[in-house]
Amino acid sequence: MSGTPVTTWYLEQTGPDELVPAAAPAHDAGVLIERAQVPSPELGRFLYTAVGADVAWTDRLPWSREQWREVLERPGHEVWLAYERGTPAGYVELDGQDAGSVEIAYFGLLPDFRGRRIGGHLLSVGTARAWDLALRWPDRVPTERVWVHTCSLDGPYALANYRRRGFRVTHTTTSQ
In a domain, 25, yes or no: yes
Strand order in the sheet with 101-109: 31-35, 77-84, 87-96, 101-109, 145-151, 6-13, 168-175
In a domain, 126, yes or no: yes
In a domain, 176, yes or no: no
User: What's the burial of 17, exposed, middle or buried (CB within 10 Å: 0-12/13-18/19+)?
Assistant: exposed
Contacts of 146 (CB under 8 A, 6+ apart): 12, 13, 101, 102, 103, 104, 127, 130, 131, 167
CATH of the domain at 56: 3.40.630.30
In a domain, 140, yes or no: yes
Question: Are 83 and 31 a contacting pair, CB within 8 Å?
Answer: yes
The lowest-confidence range among 6-20, 25-39, 67-81 is: 25-39
Q: Please write the tens of the pLDDT for every residue from 96-155.
A: 999 999 999 999 999 999 988 899 999 999 999 999 999 999 999 999 999 999 999 888
In a domain, 145, yes or no: yes
Query: Hey, which bits of 36-167 come out as E strands?
Result: 77-84, 87-96, 101-109, 145-151
Task: Report which of 41, 25, 145 is spatially closest to residue 85, judged by C-alpha positions.
Answer: 25
In a domain, 93, yes or no: yes
Q: Which domain holds residue 81?
A: 6-171
In a domain, 53, yes or no: yes
Q: What is the pTM of this model?
A: 0.95
Tell me how many domains the chain contains: 1
